[in-house]
Amino acid sequence: MMNYKDKKYHVVTYGCQMNVHESEKITGILQSLGMTSIDKPELADVVVFNTCCIREGAEDRAFSNISALKKYKAKNPEMVIVVCGCMPQQKQGKYDFKTKLPFVDIVIGTHNINMLGSYLQQISENRSRIFEILEQPVDSCEITNVVRDDKINAYVNIIYGCNKFCTYCIVPYVRGRERSRAYEDIEAEVKELVNKGYRYITLLGQNVNSYGKDLNNGMDFATLLSKLSQIEGEFKLKFMTSHPIDFNKNVIKVMKQQPKVAKCLHLPVQSGNDEILFKMNRHYTIKHYYSLIKTTKRQVKNVSLSTDIIVGFPNESEQAFEDTIKLLKKVKFDQVFAFMYSKRTGTPACTFPDQIEESVKNRRLNKLLREQKFINKHLLNYCVGKTYNCLIIVKNGVTMGLTDGGREIYLPNDSGVMENHFANVKVEGIRNHKLSGVIK
Ligand code: SAH
Ligand code: SF4
Ligand code: F3S
Protein backbone atom coordinates (compact mmCIF):
# COMPACT_ATOMS: atom_id res chain seq x y z
CA MET A 1 0.00 0.00 0.00
CA MET A 2 1.35 3.40 -0.99
CA ASN A 3 1.65 5.98 1.70
CA TYR A 4 1.36 9.43 0.18
CA LYS A 5 3.10 11.17 3.06
CA ASP A 6 6.23 12.98 1.80
CA LYS A 7 5.49 11.97 -1.80
CA LYS A 8 5.61 14.55 -4.59
CA TYR A 9 2.71 15.86 -6.68
CA HIS A 10 2.39 17.93 -9.82
CA VAL A 11 -0.84 19.53 -11.06
CA VAL A 12 -1.33 20.68 -14.67
CA THR A 13 -4.27 23.00 -15.33
CA TYR A 14 -6.03 23.87 -18.59
CA GLY A 15 -8.99 26.18 -19.14
CA CYS A 16 -10.80 28.92 -17.32
CA GLN A 17 -10.49 30.58 -13.90
CA MET A 18 -12.99 28.07 -12.61
CA ASN A 19 -10.52 25.32 -13.39
CA VAL A 20 -7.57 27.27 -12.03
CA HIS A 21 -9.47 27.58 -8.75
CA GLU A 22 -10.46 23.91 -8.83
CA SER A 23 -6.76 23.07 -9.12
CA GLU A 24 -6.18 25.07 -5.93
CA LYS A 25 -8.72 22.77 -4.28
CA ILE A 26 -6.99 19.72 -5.74
CA THR A 27 -3.70 21.00 -4.35
CA GLY A 28 -5.41 21.34 -0.97
CA ILE A 29 -6.46 17.69 -1.10
CA LEU A 30 -2.97 16.50 -2.12
CA GLN A 31 -1.27 18.53 0.59
CA SER A 32 -3.67 17.24 3.21
CA LEU A 33 -2.40 13.74 2.33
CA GLY A 34 1.07 14.99 3.31
CA MET A 35 2.41 15.50 -0.20
CA THR A 36 4.61 18.33 -1.44
CA SER A 37 4.81 19.93 -4.86
CA ILE A 38 7.49 19.28 -7.48
CA ASP A 39 8.08 21.29 -10.68
CA LYS A 40 8.73 18.43 -13.06
CA PRO A 41 5.80 16.07 -13.75
CA GLU A 42 8.14 13.24 -14.75
CA LEU A 43 9.62 13.21 -11.23
CA ALA A 44 6.29 13.31 -9.42
CA ASP A 45 4.61 10.39 -7.65
CA VAL A 46 1.15 11.77 -8.43
CA VAL A 47 0.39 13.84 -11.54
CA VAL A 48 -3.05 15.43 -11.95
CA PHE A 49 -4.25 16.82 -15.29
CA ASN A 50 -7.19 19.15 -14.72
CA THR A 51 -8.56 19.41 -18.24
CA CYS A 52 -10.67 21.75 -20.41
CA CYS A 53 -12.74 20.93 -23.51
CA ILE A 54 -13.96 24.37 -24.56
CA ARG A 55 -12.11 24.08 -27.90
CA GLU A 56 -10.46 21.24 -29.75
CA GLY A 57 -7.03 22.83 -29.31
CA ALA A 58 -7.32 22.69 -25.51
CA GLU A 59 -8.15 18.99 -25.69
CA ASP A 60 -5.33 18.16 -28.09
CA ARG A 61 -2.81 19.97 -25.90
CA ALA A 62 -3.91 18.10 -22.79
CA PHE A 63 -3.98 14.75 -24.57
CA SER A 64 -0.48 15.15 -25.94
CA ASN A 65 0.92 16.24 -22.56
CA ILE A 66 -0.71 13.31 -20.82
CA SER A 67 0.64 10.94 -23.49
CA ALA A 68 4.14 12.32 -22.94
CA LEU A 69 4.13 10.82 -19.44
CA LYS A 70 3.81 7.27 -20.76
CA LYS A 71 7.54 6.66 -20.94
CA TYR A 72 8.11 7.96 -17.40
CA LYS A 73 5.32 5.80 -16.08
CA ALA A 74 7.00 2.82 -17.76
CA LYS A 75 10.17 3.62 -15.79
CA ASN A 76 8.27 4.26 -12.57
CA PRO A 77 5.15 2.06 -12.43
CA GLU A 78 4.35 3.44 -8.97
CA MET A 79 3.50 6.81 -10.52
CA VAL A 80 -0.22 7.64 -10.23
CA ILE A 81 -1.69 9.63 -13.15
CA VAL A 82 -5.05 11.33 -12.71
CA VAL A 83 -7.17 12.98 -15.42
CA CYS A 84 -10.08 15.10 -14.19
CA GLY A 85 -12.17 18.11 -15.17
CA CYS A 86 -14.21 18.85 -18.25
CA MET A 87 -12.63 16.51 -20.84
CA PRO A 88 -13.66 13.19 -19.26
CA GLN A 89 -17.06 14.62 -18.34
CA GLN A 90 -18.12 14.81 -22.03
CA LYS A 91 -20.52 12.17 -23.29
CA GLN A 92 -19.03 12.04 -26.79
CA GLY A 93 -15.52 13.33 -26.24
CA LYS A 94 -12.84 13.12 -28.89
CA TYR A 95 -10.57 11.02 -26.71
CA ASP A 96 -11.57 7.78 -25.04
CA PHE A 97 -9.33 7.62 -22.00
CA LYS A 98 -10.23 4.02 -21.28
CA THR A 99 -8.77 2.68 -24.50
CA LYS A 100 -6.40 5.44 -25.63
CA LEU A 101 -4.54 6.05 -22.38
CA PRO A 102 -4.26 2.70 -20.57
CA PHE A 103 -1.50 4.03 -18.30
CA VAL A 104 -3.78 6.64 -16.73
CA ASP A 105 -4.87 5.36 -13.28
CA ILE A 106 -7.77 7.58 -12.26
CA VAL A 107 -10.29 9.26 -14.59
CA ILE A 108 -12.93 11.43 -12.95
CA GLY A 109 -15.11 14.31 -14.13
CA THR A 110 -16.13 17.70 -12.80
CA HIS A 111 -18.59 16.50 -10.14
CA ASN A 112 -16.35 14.38 -7.92
CA ILE A 113 -13.04 16.19 -7.53
CA ASN A 114 -13.77 16.37 -3.80
CA MET A 115 -13.43 12.55 -3.77
CA LEU A 116 -9.87 12.61 -5.13
CA GLY A 117 -8.32 11.81 -1.74
CA SER A 118 -10.36 8.66 -1.32
CA TYR A 119 -9.72 7.54 -4.92
CA LEU A 120 -5.98 7.91 -4.29
CA GLN A 121 -6.34 5.86 -1.11
CA GLN A 122 -8.27 3.21 -3.01
CA ILE A 123 -5.67 2.94 -5.76
CA SER A 124 -2.86 2.66 -3.22
CA GLU A 125 -4.53 -0.42 -1.78
CA ASN A 126 -5.41 -2.11 -5.04
CA ARG A 127 -3.90 -0.92 -8.28
CA SER A 128 -6.97 -1.36 -10.49
CA ARG A 129 -7.89 1.66 -12.58
CA ILE A 130 -10.70 3.95 -11.43
CA PHE A 131 -13.23 5.43 -13.87
CA GLU A 132 -15.87 7.47 -12.15
CA ILE A 133 -17.80 10.08 -14.08
CA LEU A 134 -20.88 11.22 -12.13
CA GLU A 135 -23.94 12.38 -14.11
CA GLN A 136 -25.02 14.84 -11.44
CA PRO A 137 -23.21 17.02 -8.94
CA VAL A 138 -23.22 15.73 -5.37
CA ASP A 139 -24.90 18.07 -2.91
CA SER A 140 -22.16 18.66 -0.40
CA CYS A 141 -19.18 18.91 -2.69
CA GLU A 142 -17.73 21.94 -0.88
CA ILE A 143 -13.97 21.71 -0.54
CA THR A 144 -12.66 23.95 2.18
CA ASN A 145 -8.98 23.11 2.15
CA VAL A 146 -7.92 25.44 -0.68
CA VAL A 147 -4.21 26.06 -1.26
CA ARG A 148 -3.91 29.33 -3.19
CA ASP A 149 -0.94 30.15 -5.41
CA ASP A 150 -1.27 33.88 -5.54
CA LYS A 151 -0.79 36.19 -2.56
CA ILE A 152 -2.81 39.11 -3.95
CA ASN A 153 -5.64 37.60 -5.99
CA ALA A 154 -8.04 34.99 -4.67
CA TYR A 155 -10.98 33.25 -6.31
CA VAL A 156 -14.29 32.47 -4.64
CA ASN A 157 -17.00 30.38 -6.31
CA ILE A 158 -20.46 31.90 -6.06
CA ILE A 159 -22.34 29.80 -8.62
CA TYR A 160 -21.56 26.54 -10.40
CA GLY A 161 -22.86 25.32 -13.77
CA CYS A 162 -24.68 27.10 -16.59
CA ASN A 163 -28.27 27.10 -17.89
CA LYS A 164 -27.70 29.23 -20.98
CA PHE A 165 -26.94 26.64 -23.66
CA CYS A 166 -25.28 28.91 -26.18
CA THR A 167 -25.33 26.73 -29.29
CA TYR A 168 -21.53 26.54 -29.63
CA CYS A 169 -20.72 25.81 -26.00
CA ILE A 170 -19.95 22.56 -24.19
CA VAL A 171 -19.92 24.03 -20.67
CA PRO A 172 -23.58 23.34 -19.74
CA TYR A 173 -23.05 19.67 -20.66
CA VAL A 174 -19.91 19.22 -18.56
CA ARG A 175 -20.71 21.50 -15.62
CA GLY A 176 -24.43 20.80 -15.14
CA ARG A 177 -27.19 23.20 -14.16
CA GLU A 178 -26.77 26.40 -12.15
CA ARG A 179 -26.24 25.97 -8.40
CA SER A 180 -25.73 29.07 -6.26
CA ARG A 181 -23.67 28.80 -3.11
CA ALA A 182 -25.27 29.88 0.17
CA TYR A 183 -24.61 33.55 0.95
CA GLU A 184 -23.27 32.75 4.43
CA ASP A 185 -20.59 30.43 2.98
CA ILE A 186 -19.49 33.03 0.42
CA GLU A 187 -19.36 35.79 3.03
CA ALA A 188 -17.34 33.66 5.44
CA GLU A 189 -14.83 32.81 2.72
CA VAL A 190 -14.45 36.42 1.57
CA LYS A 191 -13.95 37.57 5.19
CA GLU A 192 -11.31 34.94 5.76
CA LEU A 193 -9.44 35.98 2.59
CA VAL A 194 -9.60 39.66 3.49
CA ASN A 195 -8.16 38.83 6.93
CA LYS A 196 -5.37 36.89 5.25
CA GLY A 197 -4.47 40.04 3.28
CA TYR A 198 -5.76 39.26 -0.24
CA ARG A 199 -6.39 42.53 -2.05
CA TYR A 200 -8.43 41.34 -5.03
CA ILE A 201 -11.17 38.77 -4.59
CA THR A 202 -12.77 37.48 -7.79
CA LEU A 203 -16.27 36.05 -7.52
CA LEU A 204 -16.49 33.17 -9.97
CA GLY A 205 -19.28 31.65 -12.02
CA GLN A 206 -20.02 30.82 -15.66
CA ASN A 207 -22.75 33.40 -15.36
CA VAL A 208 -22.41 35.32 -12.10
CA ASN A 209 -25.47 37.45 -12.84
CA SER A 210 -27.67 34.37 -12.39
CA TYR A 211 -26.60 34.21 -8.76
CA GLY A 212 -29.50 33.48 -6.41
CA LYS A 213 -32.13 32.54 -9.01
CA ASP A 214 -32.19 28.96 -7.68
CA LEU A 215 -32.10 29.96 -3.99
CA ASN A 216 -35.63 31.42 -3.93
CA ASN A 217 -34.79 33.74 -1.05
CA GLY A 218 -34.81 37.06 -2.87
CA MET A 219 -31.03 37.12 -3.25
CA ASP A 220 -29.61 38.29 -6.56
CA PHE A 221 -26.14 39.18 -7.81
CA ALA A 222 -26.45 42.94 -7.23
CA THR A 223 -27.48 42.31 -3.61
CA LEU A 224 -24.66 39.83 -3.11
CA LEU A 225 -22.09 42.28 -4.47
CA SER A 226 -23.47 45.12 -2.39
CA LYS A 227 -23.50 43.04 0.82
CA LEU A 228 -19.98 41.71 0.29
CA SER A 229 -18.64 45.20 -0.27
CA GLN A 230 -19.71 46.11 3.29
CA ILE A 231 -17.05 43.77 4.69
CA GLU A 232 -14.34 45.65 6.62
CA GLY A 233 -10.80 45.71 5.26
CA GLU A 234 -8.61 46.84 2.36
CA PHE A 235 -9.76 44.85 -0.67
CA LYS A 236 -11.67 44.99 -3.93
CA LEU A 237 -14.18 42.62 -5.48
CA LYS A 238 -14.05 41.51 -9.09
CA PHE A 239 -16.45 39.11 -10.77
CA MET A 240 -16.60 36.95 -13.85
CA THR A 241 -18.25 36.07 -16.12
CA SER A 242 -21.23 38.32 -16.82
CA HIS A 243 -23.82 37.62 -19.51
CA PRO A 244 -25.31 40.61 -21.37
CA ILE A 245 -28.83 39.28 -20.89
CA ASP A 246 -28.58 39.26 -17.07
CA PHE A 247 -26.03 41.98 -16.36
CA ASN A 248 -28.19 44.97 -15.48
CA LYS A 249 -28.62 48.48 -14.09
CA ASN A 250 -28.71 47.24 -10.50
CA VAL A 251 -25.23 45.74 -10.84
CA ILE A 252 -23.97 48.89 -12.59
CA LYS A 253 -25.34 50.92 -9.68
CA VAL A 254 -23.40 48.82 -7.14
CA MET A 255 -20.24 49.17 -9.28
CA LYS A 256 -20.70 52.92 -9.26
CA GLN A 257 -21.55 53.32 -5.60
CA GLN A 258 -19.20 50.87 -3.88
CA PRO A 259 -15.53 51.80 -3.81
CA LYS A 260 -14.74 48.18 -2.98
CA VAL A 261 -16.10 46.95 -6.30
CA ALA A 262 -13.33 47.05 -8.94
CA LYS A 263 -13.96 49.32 -11.90
CA CYS A 264 -13.69 46.64 -14.54
CA LEU A 265 -16.17 44.52 -16.42
CA HIS A 266 -15.73 41.41 -18.55
CA LEU A 267 -18.83 41.24 -20.75
CA PRO A 268 -18.51 38.66 -23.54
CA VAL A 269 -20.32 39.79 -26.68
CA GLN A 270 -19.22 36.88 -28.97
CA SER A 271 -20.28 38.62 -32.20
CA GLY A 272 -21.22 42.05 -33.50
CA ASN A 273 -23.99 40.73 -35.74
CA ASP A 274 -27.59 40.16 -34.64
CA GLU A 275 -28.24 37.21 -36.92
CA ILE A 276 -25.18 35.38 -35.61
CA LEU A 277 -26.10 36.24 -32.02
CA PHE A 278 -29.53 34.74 -32.62
CA LYS A 279 -28.02 31.54 -34.00
CA MET A 280 -25.68 31.44 -31.03
CA ASN A 281 -28.76 31.52 -28.75
CA ARG A 282 -27.37 34.54 -26.93
CA HIS A 283 -30.83 36.18 -26.49
CA TYR A 284 -29.69 39.79 -26.96
CA THR A 285 -29.16 42.22 -29.80
CA ILE A 286 -26.19 44.48 -30.45
CA LYS A 287 -28.44 47.41 -29.61
CA HIS A 288 -28.98 45.96 -26.14
CA TYR A 289 -25.25 45.31 -25.75
CA TYR A 290 -24.41 48.90 -26.71
CA SER A 291 -26.91 50.26 -24.25
CA LEU A 292 -25.31 48.25 -21.43
CA ILE A 293 -21.86 49.49 -22.40
CA LYS A 294 -23.06 53.07 -22.68
CA THR A 295 -24.68 53.01 -19.25
CA THR A 296 -21.63 51.34 -17.69
CA LYS A 297 -19.22 53.88 -19.19
CA ARG A 298 -21.42 56.76 -18.10
CA GLN A 299 -21.96 55.53 -14.55
CA VAL A 300 -18.65 53.89 -13.69
CA LYS A 301 -15.82 56.41 -14.13
CA ASN A 302 -12.77 55.13 -16.06
CA VAL A 303 -14.21 51.63 -16.25
CA SER A 304 -12.06 49.02 -17.97
CA LEU A 305 -13.95 46.78 -20.38
CA SER A 306 -13.06 43.39 -21.78
CA THR A 307 -14.88 40.84 -23.92
CA ASP A 308 -14.78 37.45 -25.65
CA ILE A 309 -15.28 37.03 -29.41
CA ILE A 310 -15.81 33.96 -31.56
CA VAL A 311 -14.89 34.31 -35.23
CA GLY A 312 -16.02 31.90 -37.90
CA PHE A 313 -19.26 30.72 -36.28
CA PRO A 314 -21.27 28.70 -38.86
CA ASN A 315 -22.72 30.91 -41.56
CA GLU A 316 -20.71 34.01 -40.50
CA SER A 317 -20.48 36.10 -43.67
CA GLU A 318 -17.70 38.58 -44.38
CA GLN A 319 -20.22 41.30 -43.61
CA ALA A 320 -21.16 39.74 -40.26
CA PHE A 321 -17.49 39.50 -39.36
CA GLU A 322 -17.01 43.18 -40.27
CA ASP A 323 -19.87 43.99 -37.89
CA THR A 324 -17.74 42.51 -35.11
CA ILE A 325 -14.77 44.69 -36.10
CA LYS A 326 -17.09 47.68 -36.12
CA LEU A 327 -18.19 46.85 -32.60
CA LEU A 328 -14.59 46.65 -31.35
CA LYS A 329 -13.84 50.06 -32.87
CA LYS A 330 -16.92 51.56 -31.30
CA VAL A 331 -16.62 50.13 -27.77
CA LYS A 332 -12.79 50.21 -27.51
CA PHE A 333 -12.26 47.32 -25.10
CA ASP A 334 -9.09 47.26 -23.02
CA GLN A 335 -8.81 43.56 -23.68
CA VAL A 336 -10.32 41.20 -26.22
CA PHE A 337 -10.11 37.41 -25.98
CA ALA A 338 -10.79 36.14 -29.47
CA PHE A 339 -11.20 32.53 -30.56
CA MET A 340 -11.80 30.66 -33.78
CA TYR A 341 -15.06 28.73 -33.58
CA SER A 342 -14.37 25.11 -32.66
CA LYS A 343 -16.93 22.36 -33.27
CA ARG A 344 -17.96 20.64 -30.04
CA THR A 345 -19.65 17.28 -30.47
CA GLY A 346 -23.06 17.23 -28.81
CA THR A 347 -23.72 20.97 -29.15
CA PRO A 348 -26.32 22.24 -31.68
CA ALA A 349 -23.90 24.41 -33.71
CA CYS A 350 -21.77 21.38 -34.46
CA THR A 351 -24.35 20.19 -36.97
CA PHE A 352 -25.28 23.62 -38.40
CA PRO A 353 -24.83 23.88 -42.16
CA ASP A 354 -22.35 26.36 -43.62
CA GLN A 355 -19.41 25.65 -41.38
CA ILE A 356 -16.57 28.08 -42.09
CA GLU A 357 -13.23 26.86 -43.41
CA GLU A 358 -10.26 26.91 -41.05
CA SER A 359 -8.26 29.20 -43.35
CA VAL A 360 -11.07 31.77 -43.32
CA LYS A 361 -11.39 31.57 -39.53
CA ASN A 362 -7.66 32.06 -39.27
CA ARG A 363 -7.63 35.08 -41.53
CA ARG A 364 -10.51 36.67 -39.63
CA LEU A 365 -8.88 36.03 -36.27
CA ASN A 366 -5.64 37.65 -37.40
CA LYS A 367 -7.41 40.64 -38.83
CA LEU A 368 -9.37 41.10 -35.62
CA LEU A 369 -6.24 40.86 -33.47
CA ARG A 370 -4.48 43.44 -35.68
CA GLU A 371 -7.40 45.85 -35.37
CA GLN A 372 -7.50 45.38 -31.60
CA LYS A 373 -3.77 46.04 -31.30
CA PHE A 374 -4.28 49.33 -33.08
CA ILE A 375 -7.19 50.24 -30.77
CA ASN A 376 -5.06 49.39 -27.75
CA LYS A 377 -2.28 51.74 -28.79
CA HIS A 378 -4.80 54.49 -29.08
CA LEU A 379 -6.25 53.64 -25.64
CA LEU A 380 -2.91 54.28 -23.96
CA ASN A 381 -3.13 57.95 -24.99
CA TYR A 382 -6.65 58.06 -23.66
CA CYS A 383 -5.38 57.13 -20.17
CA VAL A 384 -3.04 60.13 -19.94
CA GLY A 385 -4.35 62.75 -17.52
CA LYS A 386 -6.77 60.32 -15.87
CA THR A 387 -6.64 59.13 -12.26
CA TYR A 388 -7.03 55.47 -11.33
CA ASN A 389 -7.30 53.82 -7.96
CA CYS A 390 -4.43 51.33 -8.11
CA LEU A 391 -2.82 48.61 -6.08
CA ILE A 392 0.82 49.59 -5.61
CA ILE A 393 3.16 46.70 -6.40
CA VAL A 394 6.91 46.25 -6.75
CA LYS A 395 7.85 43.92 -9.62
CA ASN A 396 11.53 43.08 -10.18
CA GLY A 397 12.49 46.17 -8.19
CA VAL A 398 10.21 48.43 -10.24
CA THR A 399 7.33 50.23 -8.51
CA MET A 400 4.01 50.33 -10.37
CA GLY A 401 0.36 50.98 -9.86
CA LEU A 402 -1.95 48.25 -11.07
CA THR A 403 -5.35 49.47 -12.29
CA ASP A 404 -8.46 47.37 -11.68
CA GLY A 405 -8.35 46.42 -15.35
CA GLY A 406 -4.76 45.18 -14.96
CA ARG A 407 -2.88 48.05 -16.64
CA GLU A 408 0.54 48.84 -15.18
CA ILE A 409 1.50 52.45 -14.46
CA TYR A 410 5.18 53.07 -13.74
CA LEU A 411 5.78 55.11 -10.60
CA PRO A 412 8.81 56.85 -9.05
CA ASN A 413 10.68 54.36 -6.86
CA ASP A 414 9.90 56.18 -3.61
CA SER A 415 6.23 55.26 -4.16
CA GLY A 416 7.30 51.77 -3.10
CA VAL A 417 6.51 52.68 0.52
CA MET A 418 2.86 52.20 -0.47
CA GLU A 419 3.49 48.63 -1.63
CA ASN A 420 0.46 46.37 -1.27
CA HIS A 421 -1.92 49.26 -0.58
CA PHE A 422 -4.45 50.99 -2.80
CA ALA A 423 -3.75 54.58 -3.83
CA ASN A 424 -4.92 57.06 -6.46
CA VAL A 425 -2.46 57.31 -9.32
CA LYS A 426 -2.49 60.07 -11.93
CA VAL A 427 -1.20 59.08 -15.36
CA GLU A 428 1.21 61.74 -16.62
CA GLY A 429 2.63 60.30 -19.78
CA ILE A 430 3.78 57.35 -21.87
CA ARG A 431 7.32 55.93 -21.75
CA ASN A 432 8.38 52.99 -23.97
CA HIS A 433 4.73 52.15 -24.73
CA LYS A 434 4.01 52.05 -20.97
CA LEU A 435 2.08 54.45 -18.80
CA SER A 436 3.89 56.47 -16.17
CA GLY A 437 2.42 58.48 -13.35
CA VAL A 438 2.51 59.62 -9.74
CA ILE A 439 0.57 58.89 -6.58
CA LYS A 440 -1.83 61.73 -5.93
N1 SAH B 1 -19.24 31.44 -19.10
C2 SAH B 1 -18.40 32.29 -19.78
C3 SAH B 1 -17.19 31.63 -20.37
C4 SAH B 1 -17.38 30.53 -21.31
S5 SAH B 1 -15.96 29.89 -22.05
C6 SAH B 1 -19.22 33.06 -20.75
O7 SAH B 1 -20.35 32.77 -20.97
O8 SAH B 1 -18.73 34.02 -21.29
C9 SAH B 1 -15.04 31.28 -22.52
C10 SAH B 1 -15.17 31.69 -23.94
O11 SAH B 1 -14.81 30.66 -24.81
C12 SAH B 1 -16.56 32.07 -24.38
O13 SAH B 1 -16.94 33.34 -23.99
C14 SAH B 1 -16.46 31.95 -25.88
O15 SAH B 1 -16.01 33.14 -26.45
C16 SAH B 1 -15.39 30.87 -26.06
N17 SAH B 1 -15.96 29.62 -26.56
C18 SAH B 1 -16.89 28.83 -25.99
N19 SAH B 1 -17.18 27.78 -26.79
C20 SAH B 1 -16.42 27.91 -27.90
C21 SAH B 1 -16.27 27.16 -29.11
N22 SAH B 1 -16.99 26.07 -29.33
N23 SAH B 1 -15.37 27.60 -30.02
C24 SAH B 1 -14.66 28.73 -29.81
N25 SAH B 1 -14.78 29.46 -28.71
C26 SAH B 1 -15.64 29.08 -27.76
FE1 SF4 C 1 -21.08 28.64 -22.45
FE2 SF4 C 1 -22.94 30.42 -22.98
FE3 SF4 C 1 -22.89 29.20 -20.58
FE4 SF4 C 1 -21.01 30.95 -21.20
S5 SF4 C 1 -23.21 31.41 -20.97
S6 SF4 C 1 -20.71 28.96 -20.27
S7 SF4 C 1 -20.72 30.66 -23.39
S8 SF4 C 1 -23.32 28.24 -22.56
FE1 F3S D 1 -12.90 24.70 -20.11
FE2 F3S D 1 -14.46 23.50 -18.45
FE3 F3S D 1 -13.74 26.00 -18.03
S4 F3S D 1 -14.56 23.34 -20.64
S5 F3S D 1 -13.49 26.80 -20.06
S6 F3S D 1 -12.42 24.25 -18.02
S7 F3S D 1 -15.70 25.09 -17.52
CATH number at residue 265: 3.80.30.20
* 92 lies in the same domain as 211: no
Residues 238 and 321 in one domain: yes
Domain assignment of residue 142, yes or no: no
Q: Which of 346, 282, 276, 347 is nearest to 314 (CA)?
A: 276
Residue 204 is which amino acid?
A: L
Residues across the chain: 440
CATH number at residue 91: 3.40.50.12160
- Give dist(CA 382, CA 430) in Å, integer: 11
Tell whether ligand 2 has an atom less than 6 A from the beta carbon of residue 415: no
The count of domains in the chain is 3
With respect to residue 340, please indicate whether it lies within any of the assigned structural domains.
yes
Q: Is residue 141 part of a domain?
A: no
Residue 107 pLDDT > 60: yes
Residue 206 lies in a domain: yes
For residue 139, count other CB atoms closer than 10 A to its CB. Answer: 7
How confident is the model at residue 175, as a pLDDT?
95
d(CA 44, CA 11): 10
Same-domain status, 18 and 86: yes
**CA–CA distance from 431 to each of 216, 393, 428, 435, 437 (Å)?**
53, 18, 10, 6, 10
Question: Which ligand has the shortest distance to the CA of 23?
Answer: 3
Is residue 94 one of the residues assigned to a domain? yes
Task: Find out whether the beta carbon of 206 lies less than 6 Å from any atom of ligand 2.
Answer: yes
Q: Is 409 found in the same domain as 272?
A: no
The DSSP string of 265-323 is: EE---B-S-HHHHHHTT----HHHHHHHHHHHHHHSTT-EEEEEEEES-TT--HHHHHH
* Residues 198, 186 share a domain: yes
The Cα 217–Cα 219 span in angstroms is 6
Asked whether residue 375 falls in the same domain as residue 309, the answer is yes
Do 333 and 318 lie in one domain? The reply is yes
141 pLDDT above the threshold of 60: no
- Both 328 and 370 in one domain: the answer is yes
**Residue 214 pLDDT more than 60?**
yes
Q: How many CB atoms lie within 10 A of CB 424?
A: 13
Same domain, 427 and 299: no
Name the closest ligand to CA 266.
1
Compute the average pLDDT of residues 80-101.
93
Ligand located closest to 17 CA: 3
Span of 137-146, 216-225, 228-237, 277-286 with lowest mean pLDDT: 137-146
Residue 326 lies in a domain: yes
**Strands of 130-132's sheet, edge to edge?**
36-37, 8-13, 46-51, 80-85, 106-108, 130-132
Which atom, in ligand 2's list, is nearest to the CA of 241? 4
Q: Is the CB of 344 under 6 A from ligand 1?
A: yes
- Residue 140 inside a domain? The answer is no
| Distance from residue 412's CA to the centre of ligand 1 (Å) | 40
Shared domain check, 190 and 317:
yes
- Asked which of 84-88, 134-138, 384-388, 403-407 is least confident by mean pLDDT, the reply is 134-138
Residues 250-278 pLDDT 10s? 999 999 999 999 999 999 999 999 999 99
Confidence of residue 126 (pLDDT cuts 50, 70, 90): confident
Which pLDDT score is estimated for 324? 98
Structural domain span for residue 418: 387-439
Q: Are residues 429 and 331 in the same domain?
A: no
